[in-house]
Amino acid sequence: MESKPINFKLITMIKKSMAALSMGLLMQLGVSCHKPIPADLSKVSLIPAPVELKASGTSYFLSEKTTIYIQDNDDLNTLGSLLSQQIESLTGLKLKVEKSDKAPAKGIYLAIDSEVTMANDEAYALTIGEKGLELKANKPAGIFRGIQTIDQAITKHEGERTGWIVPGGSIMDYPQYEYRGVMLDVSRHFFGVEDVKRVIDLAAAYKINVLHLHLTDDQGWRIEIKSWPELTAVGGQTQVGGGEGGFYTQEQYKDIVAYAGERFVTVVPEIDMPGHTNAAVVAYPELNGTKKKAELYTGTKVGFSTLATRKEVTYQFVDDVIRELAAITDGPYIHIGGDESHVTKEDDYVYFINRTKDIVKKYNKIMIGWDEIAHAAIDDTDVVQYWAKDENAVMGVEKGAKVLLSPSKRMYLDMKYDSTTHIGLDWAALIEVDQAYNWHPETLVEGISKDNILGLESPLWTETVETMDDIEYLVFPRLIGHAELGWSKPESRNWDSYKKRLANHGQRLKVKGVDFYQSKLVPWDRE
Protein backbone atom coordinates (compact mmCIF):
# COMPACT_ATOMS: atom_id res chain seq x y z
CA MET A 1 0.00 0.00 0.00
CA GLU A 2 1.18 3.43 -0.82
CA SER A 3 1.34 5.72 2.18
CA LYS A 4 0.27 9.29 1.73
CA PRO A 5 2.81 12.01 2.48
CA ILE A 6 2.18 13.50 5.89
CA ASN A 7 0.88 17.03 5.74
CA PHE A 8 3.00 18.70 8.40
CA LYS A 9 1.50 22.13 7.80
CA LEU A 10 -1.96 20.81 8.42
CA ILE A 11 -0.90 19.04 11.60
CA THR A 12 0.76 22.18 12.95
CA MET A 13 -2.36 24.20 12.15
CA ILE A 14 -4.56 21.71 13.95
CA LYS A 15 -2.19 21.65 16.93
CA LYS A 16 -2.14 25.45 17.09
CA SER A 17 -5.89 25.82 16.96
CA MET A 18 -6.31 23.11 19.57
CA ALA A 19 -3.84 24.87 21.84
CA ALA A 20 -5.65 28.19 21.33
CA LEU A 21 -8.95 26.49 22.03
CA SER A 22 -7.85 24.86 25.25
CA MET A 23 -6.16 28.05 26.38
CA GLY A 24 -9.41 29.96 25.81
CA LEU A 25 -11.36 27.27 27.61
CA LEU A 26 -9.02 27.33 30.58
CA MET A 27 -9.23 31.09 30.75
CA GLN A 28 -12.99 30.93 30.69
CA LEU A 29 -12.90 28.44 33.53
CA GLY A 30 -10.73 30.86 35.46
CA VAL A 31 -7.71 28.53 35.46
CA SER A 32 -4.48 30.46 35.24
CA CYS A 33 -2.35 29.44 32.32
CA HIS A 34 1.17 30.75 32.11
CA LYS A 35 3.51 30.88 29.21
CA PRO A 36 6.69 28.98 29.99
CA ILE A 37 9.49 31.18 31.25
CA PRO A 38 12.32 31.28 28.71
CA ALA A 39 15.55 29.81 30.08
CA ASP A 40 18.74 28.33 28.69
CA LEU A 41 19.74 24.88 29.92
CA SER A 42 23.17 25.25 28.34
CA LYS A 43 23.91 28.17 30.70
CA VAL A 44 23.23 26.14 33.83
CA SER A 45 26.38 25.44 35.85
CA LEU A 46 26.40 21.65 35.88
CA ILE A 47 29.32 19.88 37.58
CA PRO A 48 30.39 17.36 36.39
CA ALA A 49 29.71 18.57 32.84
CA PRO A 50 27.32 16.10 31.16
CA VAL A 51 28.18 14.15 28.01
CA GLU A 52 25.41 15.58 25.83
CA LEU A 53 23.09 18.50 26.44
CA LYS A 54 20.49 20.12 24.19
CA ALA A 55 18.68 23.27 25.29
CA SER A 56 15.12 24.00 24.16
CA GLY A 57 14.84 27.58 25.40
CA THR A 58 11.80 27.03 27.59
CA SER A 59 11.48 25.76 31.13
CA TYR A 60 9.43 23.76 33.61
CA PHE A 61 7.98 25.68 36.56
CA LEU A 62 8.07 23.85 39.89
CA SER A 63 5.17 24.51 42.22
CA GLU A 64 3.78 22.95 45.37
CA LYS A 65 1.33 21.15 43.05
CA THR A 66 4.12 19.37 41.18
CA THR A 67 3.98 15.62 41.80
CA ILE A 68 6.84 13.17 41.54
CA TYR A 69 5.56 9.99 39.85
CA ILE A 70 7.50 6.76 40.10
CA GLN A 71 7.07 3.27 38.75
CA ASP A 72 6.05 0.69 41.34
CA ASN A 73 9.53 -0.45 42.32
CA ASP A 74 11.24 -0.45 45.75
CA ASP A 75 14.38 1.33 44.60
CA LEU A 76 12.38 4.05 42.90
CA ASN A 77 10.33 4.49 46.04
CA THR A 78 13.43 5.51 48.00
CA LEU A 79 14.68 7.60 45.08
CA GLY A 80 11.36 9.42 44.74
CA SER A 81 11.49 10.49 48.39
CA LEU A 82 15.15 11.40 48.05
CA LEU A 83 14.36 13.72 45.13
CA SER A 84 11.49 15.20 47.08
CA GLN A 85 13.77 15.84 50.09
CA GLN A 86 16.49 17.37 47.93
CA ILE A 87 14.00 19.70 46.25
CA GLU A 88 12.57 20.67 49.61
CA SER A 89 15.91 21.55 51.14
CA LEU A 90 16.77 23.69 48.11
CA THR A 91 13.43 25.40 47.45
CA GLY A 92 11.20 24.77 50.46
CA LEU A 93 8.61 23.12 48.18
CA LYS A 94 7.19 19.85 49.51
CA LEU A 95 6.42 17.61 46.54
CA LYS A 96 4.38 14.49 46.97
CA VAL A 97 5.45 11.16 45.54
CA GLU A 98 2.94 8.89 43.78
CA LYS A 99 3.08 5.65 41.83
CA SER A 100 2.31 5.53 38.13
CA ASP A 101 3.07 2.82 35.61
CA LYS A 102 3.14 5.20 32.68
CA ALA A 103 4.44 8.68 31.97
CA PRO A 104 1.99 11.25 33.39
CA ALA A 105 0.67 14.21 31.39
CA LYS A 106 2.50 16.59 33.70
CA GLY A 107 4.85 16.53 36.65
CA ILE A 108 8.07 14.68 37.32
CA TYR A 109 8.47 11.05 36.26
CA LEU A 110 11.21 8.63 37.32
CA ALA A 111 11.38 5.36 35.42
CA ILE A 112 13.61 2.38 34.82
CA ASP A 113 14.03 1.88 31.09
CA SER A 114 16.27 -0.85 29.72
CA GLU A 115 16.95 1.18 26.60
CA VAL A 116 18.93 3.81 28.49
CA THR A 117 22.11 1.79 28.97
CA MET A 118 24.92 3.46 27.01
CA ALA A 119 26.79 0.37 28.27
CA ASN A 120 26.94 1.86 31.75
CA ASP A 121 25.02 1.29 34.98
CA GLU A 122 25.16 4.95 35.95
CA ALA A 123 23.89 6.30 32.63
CA TYR A 124 20.71 8.37 32.58
CA ALA A 125 18.57 10.36 30.16
CA LEU A 126 16.73 13.46 31.28
CA THR A 127 14.10 15.39 29.35
CA ILE A 128 12.75 18.67 30.62
CA GLY A 129 9.65 19.96 28.89
CA GLU A 130 7.16 22.71 29.67
CA LYS A 131 4.78 20.27 31.34
CA GLY A 132 7.22 18.17 33.20
CA LEU A 133 10.40 16.33 33.56
CA GLU A 134 11.27 12.74 32.74
CA LEU A 135 14.29 10.92 34.13
CA LYS A 136 15.06 7.45 32.81
CA ALA A 137 17.86 4.99 33.48
CA ASN A 138 18.56 1.32 33.07
CA LYS A 139 19.55 1.01 36.75
CA PRO A 140 18.54 2.83 39.94
CA ALA A 141 22.13 4.15 40.20
CA GLY A 142 21.52 6.10 36.97
CA ILE A 143 18.33 7.59 38.42
CA PHE A 144 20.27 8.72 41.49
CA ARG A 145 22.97 10.40 39.36
CA GLY A 146 20.27 12.05 37.25
CA ILE A 147 18.56 13.38 40.39
CA GLN A 148 21.79 15.22 41.21
CA THR A 149 21.68 16.82 37.76
CA ILE A 150 18.06 17.88 38.31
CA ASP A 151 19.01 19.35 41.69
CA GLN A 152 21.79 21.42 40.10
CA ALA A 153 19.54 22.54 37.25
CA ILE A 154 16.83 23.96 39.53
CA THR A 155 17.19 27.72 39.27
CA LYS A 156 15.57 30.61 41.08
CA HIS A 157 13.53 32.79 38.72
CA GLU A 158 12.66 36.36 39.67
CA GLY A 159 10.11 38.24 37.63
CA GLU A 160 6.40 38.40 37.06
CA ARG A 161 6.21 34.83 38.20
CA THR A 162 8.85 34.34 40.86
CA GLY A 163 9.69 30.77 41.74
CA TRP A 164 11.84 27.80 40.88
CA ILE A 165 12.30 26.60 37.32
CA VAL A 166 14.19 23.87 35.52
CA PRO A 167 15.47 25.13 32.14
CA GLY A 168 14.20 22.93 29.30
CA GLY A 169 16.00 20.50 27.04
CA SER A 170 17.53 17.08 27.20
CA ILE A 171 20.62 15.53 28.76
CA MET A 172 22.20 12.17 28.05
CA ASP A 173 24.97 11.32 30.44
CA TYR A 174 27.34 8.65 31.78
CA PRO A 175 30.75 8.60 33.51
CA GLN A 176 34.24 8.13 32.08
CA TYR A 177 35.47 6.15 35.09
CA GLU A 178 33.52 3.65 37.16
CA TYR A 179 35.35 4.45 40.44
CA ARG A 180 35.16 8.07 41.63
CA GLY A 181 36.09 8.17 45.28
CA VAL A 182 36.87 10.22 48.32
CA MET A 183 38.88 8.88 51.25
CA LEU A 184 38.46 9.87 54.88
CA ASP A 185 41.13 9.00 57.43
CA VAL A 186 39.18 8.31 60.64
CA SER A 187 42.25 6.98 62.43
CA ARG A 188 44.44 10.07 62.93
CA HIS A 189 41.30 11.88 64.11
CA PHE A 190 38.10 9.98 64.65
CA PHE A 191 34.83 11.17 63.07
CA GLY A 192 31.45 9.82 64.14
CA VAL A 193 28.67 8.32 62.01
CA GLU A 194 26.84 11.64 61.47
CA ASP A 195 29.98 13.32 60.11
CA VAL A 196 30.60 10.41 57.77
CA LYS A 197 27.02 10.61 56.49
CA ARG A 198 27.45 14.32 55.79
CA VAL A 199 30.60 13.61 53.78
CA ILE A 200 28.64 11.01 51.79
CA ASP A 201 25.82 13.48 51.06
CA LEU A 202 28.09 16.34 50.04
CA ALA A 203 30.21 14.10 47.81
CA ALA A 204 27.28 12.24 46.22
CA ALA A 205 25.86 15.59 45.05
CA TYR A 206 28.82 15.66 42.62
CA LYS A 207 28.38 12.03 41.51
CA ILE A 208 31.20 10.66 43.69
CA ASN A 209 30.41 6.96 44.11
CA VAL A 210 33.00 5.55 46.53
CA LEU A 211 33.80 6.35 50.16
CA HIS A 212 37.10 4.83 51.24
CA LEU A 213 37.41 4.72 55.03
CA HIS A 214 40.98 4.55 56.32
CA LEU A 215 39.93 2.65 59.44
CA THR A 216 43.23 1.80 61.08
CA ASP A 217 46.63 3.36 61.55
CA ASP A 218 49.31 3.85 64.21
CA GLN A 219 47.15 6.28 66.18
CA GLY A 220 43.90 4.33 66.35
CA TRP A 221 41.93 1.21 65.40
CA ARG A 222 38.38 2.32 64.50
CA ILE A 223 36.34 -0.77 63.62
CA GLU A 224 35.00 -3.36 66.04
CA ILE A 225 36.38 -6.86 65.38
CA LYS A 226 34.48 -9.27 67.59
CA SER A 227 37.13 -11.99 67.62
CA TRP A 228 39.88 -9.52 68.63
CA PRO A 229 38.07 -7.14 71.02
CA GLU A 230 41.17 -5.37 72.38
CA LEU A 231 41.78 -3.78 68.96
CA THR A 232 39.14 -1.18 69.74
CA ALA A 233 39.07 -1.44 73.55
CA VAL A 234 42.78 -0.59 73.70
CA GLY A 235 43.69 0.53 70.19
CA GLY A 236 40.71 2.86 69.74
CA GLN A 237 41.24 4.95 72.87
CA THR A 238 43.14 7.89 71.54
CA GLN A 239 44.10 9.92 68.46
CA VAL A 240 46.56 12.53 67.20
CA GLY A 241 46.99 15.21 69.84
CA GLY A 242 45.81 12.90 72.65
CA GLY A 243 42.03 13.26 72.26
CA GLU A 244 39.77 10.38 73.18
CA GLY A 245 39.49 8.71 69.76
CA GLY A 246 36.64 6.27 69.26
CA PHE A 247 35.53 3.52 66.91
CA TYR A 248 32.52 2.20 64.98
CA THR A 249 30.67 -0.82 66.28
CA GLN A 250 29.83 -3.25 63.49
CA GLU A 251 26.22 -2.06 63.72
CA GLN A 252 27.31 1.54 63.19
CA TYR A 253 29.52 0.52 60.28
CA LYS A 254 26.60 -1.35 58.71
CA ASP A 255 24.50 1.78 59.14
CA ILE A 256 27.13 3.78 57.21
CA VAL A 257 27.27 1.12 54.47
CA ALA A 258 23.45 1.14 54.16
CA TYR A 259 23.25 4.96 54.12
CA ALA A 260 25.95 5.07 51.45
CA GLY A 261 24.19 2.31 49.51
CA GLU A 262 20.97 4.32 49.32
CA ARG A 263 23.03 7.02 47.60
CA PHE A 264 24.77 4.48 45.35
CA VAL A 265 28.06 5.05 47.12
CA THR A 266 30.24 1.98 47.75
CA VAL A 267 32.16 1.86 51.02
CA VAL A 268 35.76 0.60 50.73
CA PRO A 269 37.16 -0.26 54.17
CA GLU A 270 40.92 -0.10 54.69
CA ILE A 271 42.93 -2.02 57.24
CA ASP A 272 46.43 -0.64 56.78
CA MET A 273 49.08 -3.41 57.09
CA PRO A 274 51.81 -4.53 57.70
CA GLY A 275 53.06 -1.01 58.62
CA HIS A 276 50.84 1.66 60.21
CA THR A 277 49.81 -0.95 62.80
CA ASN A 278 50.96 0.52 66.11
CA ALA A 279 47.44 0.64 67.60
CA ALA A 280 46.92 -3.06 66.76
CA VAL A 281 50.22 -4.22 68.23
CA VAL A 282 49.66 -2.24 71.44
CA ALA A 283 46.39 -4.17 71.81
CA TYR A 284 47.98 -7.54 70.89
CA PRO A 285 51.75 -7.48 71.52
CA GLU A 286 52.17 -10.97 69.97
CA LEU A 287 51.53 -9.32 66.58
CA ASN A 288 54.41 -6.87 66.99
CA GLY A 289 57.14 -7.34 64.40
CA THR A 290 59.61 -4.89 65.97
CA LYS A 291 61.78 -5.46 69.00
CA LYS A 292 60.46 -2.35 70.74
CA LYS A 293 57.52 -2.50 73.13
CA ALA A 294 54.69 -0.53 71.52
CA GLU A 295 52.73 2.19 73.32
CA LEU A 296 49.70 4.20 72.28
CA TYR A 297 50.84 6.90 69.88
CA THR A 298 49.38 10.39 69.43
CA GLY A 299 52.03 11.98 67.17
CA THR A 300 52.17 12.16 63.37
CA LYS A 301 55.31 10.27 62.33
CA VAL A 302 54.93 7.37 59.90
CA GLY A 303 56.81 4.17 59.10
CA PHE A 304 57.83 2.90 62.56
CA SER A 305 55.49 -0.06 63.13
CA THR A 306 55.06 -3.49 61.53
CA LEU A 307 53.19 -6.72 62.07
CA ALA A 308 55.26 -9.88 62.67
CA THR A 309 55.09 -11.10 59.08
CA ARG A 310 56.63 -14.54 59.72
CA LYS A 311 54.40 -15.58 62.61
CA GLU A 312 51.31 -17.70 61.98
CA VAL A 313 49.28 -15.83 64.59
CA THR A 314 49.50 -12.77 62.33
CA TYR A 315 47.69 -14.64 59.54
CA GLN A 316 45.04 -15.87 61.95
CA PHE A 317 44.57 -12.20 62.86
CA VAL A 318 44.42 -11.05 59.21
CA ASP A 319 41.98 -13.85 58.38
CA ASP A 320 39.63 -12.95 61.25
CA VAL A 321 39.73 -9.24 60.51
CA ILE A 322 39.10 -9.66 56.77
CA ARG A 323 36.39 -12.28 57.38
CA GLU A 324 34.46 -10.06 59.78
CA LEU A 325 34.91 -6.97 57.63
CA ALA A 326 33.95 -8.72 54.38
CA ALA A 327 30.73 -9.93 56.02
CA ILE A 328 29.56 -6.36 56.74
CA THR A 329 30.81 -4.75 53.53
CA ASP A 330 28.44 -4.75 50.54
CA GLY A 331 30.95 -3.51 47.98
CA PRO A 332 33.46 -5.71 46.13
CA TYR A 333 36.67 -4.16 47.57
CA ILE A 334 38.82 -4.50 50.68
CA HIS A 335 41.82 -2.17 50.98
CA ILE A 336 44.80 -3.68 52.78
CA GLY A 337 47.00 -0.55 52.92
CA GLY A 338 50.55 -1.68 52.31
CA ASP A 339 52.13 1.81 52.31
CA GLU A 340 55.25 3.06 54.04
CA SER A 341 56.25 -0.21 55.71
CA HIS A 342 59.70 1.21 56.37
CA VAL A 343 60.61 -1.23 59.17
CA THR A 344 59.43 -4.37 57.35
CA LYS A 345 62.18 -6.12 55.32
CA GLU A 346 61.43 -6.20 51.58
CA ASP A 347 61.04 -10.00 51.33
CA ASP A 348 58.91 -10.07 54.51
CA TYR A 349 56.74 -7.34 53.01
CA VAL A 350 56.22 -9.26 49.77
CA TYR A 351 55.51 -12.47 51.70
CA PHE A 352 52.91 -10.64 53.81
CA ILE A 353 51.11 -9.03 50.85
CA ASN A 354 51.01 -12.34 48.98
CA ARG A 355 49.43 -14.17 51.89
CA THR A 356 47.03 -11.35 52.64
CA LYS A 357 45.96 -11.26 49.01
CA ASP A 358 44.95 -14.95 49.26
CA ILE A 359 42.90 -14.18 52.36
CA VAL A 360 41.08 -11.31 50.65
CA LYS A 361 40.32 -13.67 47.72
CA LYS A 362 39.08 -16.37 50.08
CA TYR A 363 36.38 -13.95 51.24
CA ASN A 364 35.46 -13.06 47.64
CA LYS A 365 36.72 -9.50 47.67
CA ILE A 366 38.99 -7.56 45.35
CA MET A 367 42.20 -6.35 46.98
CA ILE A 368 43.25 -2.72 46.74
CA GLY A 369 46.58 -1.55 48.13
CA TRP A 370 48.77 1.58 47.98
CA ASP A 371 51.26 1.52 45.09
CA GLU A 372 54.02 -0.28 47.05
CA ILE A 373 52.02 -3.54 46.73
CA ALA A 374 53.13 -3.68 43.08
CA HIS A 375 56.32 -5.31 44.44
CA ALA A 376 54.32 -8.38 45.49
CA ALA A 377 52.79 -11.11 43.29
CA ILE A 378 49.77 -9.11 42.27
CA ASP A 379 47.77 -9.73 39.09
CA ASP A 380 44.81 -8.62 37.01
CA THR A 381 42.40 -9.21 39.89
CA ASP A 382 44.06 -6.57 42.09
CA VAL A 383 44.03 -2.79 42.22
CA VAL A 384 47.06 -0.57 42.83
CA GLN A 385 46.36 2.86 44.28
CA TYR A 386 48.93 5.26 42.83
CA TRP A 387 49.93 7.98 45.28
CA ALA A 388 53.70 8.35 45.16
CA LYS A 389 55.77 6.43 42.65
CA ASP A 390 55.24 6.25 38.88
CA GLU A 391 57.40 3.13 38.66
CA ASN A 392 55.19 1.27 41.16
CA ALA A 393 52.05 2.15 39.23
CA VAL A 394 53.66 1.07 35.94
CA MET A 395 54.90 -2.16 37.53
CA GLY A 396 51.35 -2.82 38.74
CA VAL A 397 49.98 -2.31 35.23
CA GLU A 398 52.65 -4.60 33.76
CA LYS A 399 51.45 -7.28 36.16
CA GLY A 400 47.92 -6.75 34.85
CA ALA A 401 46.47 -4.79 37.77
CA LYS A 402 44.19 -1.78 37.39
CA VAL A 403 45.30 1.55 38.76
CA LEU A 404 43.36 3.87 41.01
CA LEU A 405 44.74 7.38 40.65
CA SER A 406 45.44 9.46 43.77
CA PRO A 407 48.50 11.47 42.74
CA SER A 408 49.52 13.31 45.89
CA LYS A 409 50.55 16.49 44.02
CA ARG A 410 47.06 16.86 42.52
CA MET A 411 44.61 14.94 44.63
CA TYR A 412 45.74 14.95 48.27
CA LEU A 413 43.03 16.91 50.02
CA ASP A 414 45.20 17.27 53.13
CA MET A 415 47.67 19.49 51.24
CA LYS A 416 47.44 23.22 51.94
CA TYR A 417 45.99 25.46 49.20
CA ASP A 418 48.81 27.97 49.64
CA SER A 419 51.39 28.77 52.29
CA THR A 420 48.84 30.64 54.42
CA THR A 421 46.29 27.79 54.75
CA HIS A 422 45.71 27.34 58.50
CA ILE A 423 45.51 23.53 58.44
CA GLY A 424 46.95 20.82 56.22
CA LEU A 425 50.38 19.60 55.22
CA ASP A 426 52.66 20.57 52.34
CA TRP A 427 55.10 17.70 51.79
CA ALA A 428 53.67 16.77 48.35
CA ALA A 429 52.71 20.22 47.07
CA LEU A 430 50.60 23.29 47.66
CA ILE A 431 47.39 22.50 45.77
CA GLU A 432 45.33 25.49 44.69
CA VAL A 433 41.93 24.87 43.12
CA ASP A 434 43.35 25.09 39.57
CA GLN A 435 46.24 22.75 40.41
CA ALA A 436 43.70 20.19 41.64
CA TYR A 437 41.61 20.45 38.45
CA ASN A 438 43.88 21.30 35.58
CA TRP A 439 45.42 17.95 34.54
CA HIS A 440 44.51 14.83 32.62
CA PRO A 441 44.24 11.44 34.32
CA GLU A 442 44.87 9.57 31.07
CA THR A 443 48.22 11.26 30.40
CA LEU A 444 49.52 11.67 33.95
CA VAL A 445 51.88 8.70 34.06
CA GLU A 446 53.76 7.51 31.00
CA GLY A 447 52.80 3.90 30.37
CA ILE A 448 49.36 4.21 31.96
CA SER A 449 46.42 4.83 29.67
CA LYS A 450 42.70 5.15 30.19
CA ASP A 451 42.16 1.39 29.87
CA ASN A 452 44.49 0.74 32.81
CA ILE A 453 42.68 3.19 35.07
CA LEU A 454 39.87 2.04 37.33
CA GLY A 455 39.20 5.56 38.48
CA LEU A 456 40.21 8.44 40.71
CA GLU A 457 40.18 8.97 44.45
CA SER A 458 40.83 12.04 46.59
CA PRO A 459 42.31 11.14 50.00
CA LEU A 460 41.84 13.29 53.08
CA TRP A 461 44.45 12.39 55.70
CA THR A 462 43.52 13.91 59.03
CA GLU A 463 46.69 14.57 61.03
CA THR A 464 45.70 18.28 61.12
CA VAL A 465 41.96 17.86 60.64
CA GLU A 466 39.91 17.89 63.83
CA THR A 467 36.38 19.05 63.04
CA MET A 468 33.72 18.78 60.35
CA ASP A 469 34.52 22.39 59.41
CA ASP A 470 38.15 21.39 58.86
CA ILE A 471 37.01 18.51 56.63
CA GLU A 472 34.77 20.82 54.59
CA TYR A 473 37.48 23.45 54.20
CA LEU A 474 40.02 21.05 52.71
CA VAL A 475 37.59 18.91 50.72
CA PHE A 476 35.65 21.76 49.12
CA PRO A 477 35.96 22.88 46.48
CA ARG A 478 38.82 20.61 45.37
CA LEU A 479 36.78 17.40 45.41
CA ILE A 480 34.26 18.99 43.02
CA GLY A 481 37.02 19.38 40.42
CA HIS A 482 38.14 15.79 40.89
CA ALA A 483 34.53 14.69 40.48
CA GLU A 484 34.50 16.33 37.04
CA LEU A 485 37.83 14.70 36.08
CA GLY A 486 36.35 11.30 36.86
CA TRP A 487 32.99 11.80 35.18
CA SER A 488 33.25 14.20 32.23
CA LYS A 489 34.81 13.66 28.83
CA PRO A 490 38.25 15.26 28.36
CA GLU A 491 36.92 17.50 25.57
CA SER A 492 34.27 19.02 27.83
CA ARG A 493 36.72 19.88 30.60
CA ASN A 494 38.62 23.13 30.79
CA TRP A 495 39.63 25.40 33.63
CA ASP A 496 38.02 28.59 32.26
CA SER A 497 34.61 27.02 31.89
CA TYR A 498 34.99 25.06 35.11
CA LYS A 499 35.92 28.01 37.32
CA LYS A 500 32.84 29.94 36.15
CA ARG A 501 30.57 26.99 36.80
CA LEU A 502 32.20 26.40 40.17
CA ALA A 503 31.61 30.06 41.06
CA ASN A 504 27.88 29.44 40.76
CA HIS A 505 28.13 26.58 43.23
CA GLY A 506 29.34 28.86 46.02
CA GLN A 507 25.79 29.81 46.93
CA ARG A 508 24.65 26.17 46.89
CA LEU A 509 27.49 25.17 49.18
CA LYS A 510 26.56 28.03 51.51
CA VAL A 511 22.92 26.91 51.62
CA LYS A 512 24.19 23.50 52.73
CA GLY A 513 26.34 25.18 55.38
CA VAL A 514 29.61 24.03 53.81
CA ASP A 515 32.66 25.89 55.10
CA PHE A 516 34.53 25.80 51.78
CA TYR A 517 37.77 27.55 50.78
CA GLN A 518 36.90 30.69 48.81
CA SER A 519 39.86 30.65 46.46
CA LYS A 520 40.75 33.95 44.77
CA LEU A 521 41.12 32.07 41.50
CA VAL A 522 37.36 31.50 41.33
CA PRO A 523 34.99 34.40 40.43
CA TRP A 524 32.48 33.53 43.19
CA ASP A 525 29.00 34.91 42.88
CA ARG A 526 28.77 37.74 45.39
CA GLU A 527 25.22 37.31 46.61
| Nearest C-alpha neighbor of 47 from the set 207, 276, 210, 255 | 207
Of residues 257 and 307, the one with the C-beta less far from ligand TNX: 307
Give per-residue burial for 184-212: e unless 16+ CB within 10 Å, then b.
bbbbbbbbeeeebbbbbebbbbbbbbbbb
> According to CB under 6 A, which one of 75, 122, 134, 339 is a site residue for ligand TNX?
339
Q: Give me the least distance between CB of 383 and ligand TNX, in Å please.
A: 14
503, 525 contact by CB (below 8 A): yes
Going by the DSSP 8-state scheme, the letter that residue 294 receives in this structure is P
Nearer to ligand TNX by Cβ, of 301 and 520: the residue is: 301
**Could you tell me the smallest distance in angstroms from the CB atom of residue 55 to ligand TNX?**
43
Please say which residue, 277 or 504, places its beta carbon nearer to ligand TNX: 277
SS3 assignment, position 31: coil
Mark residues 219-258: x for contact with ligand TNX by CB under 6 A, - for none.
----------------------------------------
Comparison of 178 and 340: residue with beta carbon closer to ligand TNX: 340
- How far is residue 464's CA from residue 216's CA, in Å, rounded to a whole number? 17
Could you give the CA distance from residue 366 to residue 474 in angstroms, rounded to a whole number? 30
Among 190, 191, 437, 461, binds ligand TNX (CB under 6 A): 461
State which residue, 304 or 439, has the beta carbon closest to ligand TNX.
304
Write down the least CB distance from residue 186 to ligand TNX, Å. 12
Spell out the residues 6+ positions from residue 47 whose beta carbon is closer than 8 angstroms to its own.
152, 206, 480, 483, 484, 498, 501, 502, 505
SS3 155: strand
Distances (CA, A) of 450 to 97, 178, 227, 387, 441: 41, 12, 42, 17, 8
Binding of residue 414 to ligand TNX (CB under 6 A): yes
Catalytic annotation on 340?
yes
Name the 3-class secondary structure at 471: helix
Nearer to ligand TNX, 425 or 503 (CB): 425
Question: What is the residue type of 510?
Answer: K
Spatial distance between the Cα atoms of 164 and 60, rounded to a whole number of angstroms: 9
Nearest Cα to Cα of residue 486 among 49, 137, 165: 49
Least separation in angstroms between CB 370 and ligand TNX? 4
**Nearer to ligand TNX among residue 95 and residue 404 (C-beta):** 404
- Residue 425 as a binder of ligand TNX (CB under 6 A): the answer is yes
Q: Are the beta carbons of 256 and 193 closer than 8 angstroms? A: yes
Q: Minimum CB separation from ligand TNX for residue 402, in Å?
A: 18
Q: Is 190 in the site for ligand TNX (CB under 6 A)?
A: no
Nearest Cα residue to 448 out of 386, 372, 362: 386
Count of positions on this chain that bind ligand TNX (CB under 6 A): 10
DSSP string over 347-381: HHHHHHHHHHHHHHHHTT-EEEEEGGGGGSS--TT
Q: In angstroms, give the least distance from the CB of 66 to ligand TNX.
A: 47
Q: How far is the CB of 299 from ligand TNX (least distance, A)?
A: 12
Which residues contact residue 120 at a Cβ distance below 8 angstroms, ignoring those fewer than 6 apart? 142, 174, 175
Minimum CB–partner distance for residue 242 and ligand TNX (Å): 18
Which residue type, as a one-letter code, is found at position 189?
H
N residues, the chain: 527
- DSSP character at residue 49: P
Please state, as a whole number, how many other Cβ atoms lie within 10 Å of the Cβ of residue 350. 16
**For ligand TNX, the closer CB: 247 or 370:** 370
Residue 270 interacts with ligand TNX (CB under 6 A): yes or no: no
List the one residue out of 314, 255, 256 whose CA is nearest residue 288: 314
Strands (E), 238-293: 266-273
Out of 130, 340, 442, 466, the active site residue is: 340
Q: Which is nearer to ligand TNX, 413 or 485 (CB)?
A: 413
Site for ligand TNX in 383-402 (CB under 6 A): 387
- Report how far residue 491's alpha carbon sits from residue 475's, in angstroms, rounded to the nearest whole number: 25
CB of residue 104 to ligand TNX, shortest distance in Å: 51
- Residue 302 near ligand TNX by CB under 6 A: yes
Q: What is the dihedral of CA 497, 498, 500, 506, to 10 degrees?
A: 170
CA–CA dist 139, 442 (Å, integer): 27
State the catalytic residues: 340
The footprint of ligand TNX (CB under 6 A) covers 302, 339-340, 370, 387, 412, 414, 425, 461, 463
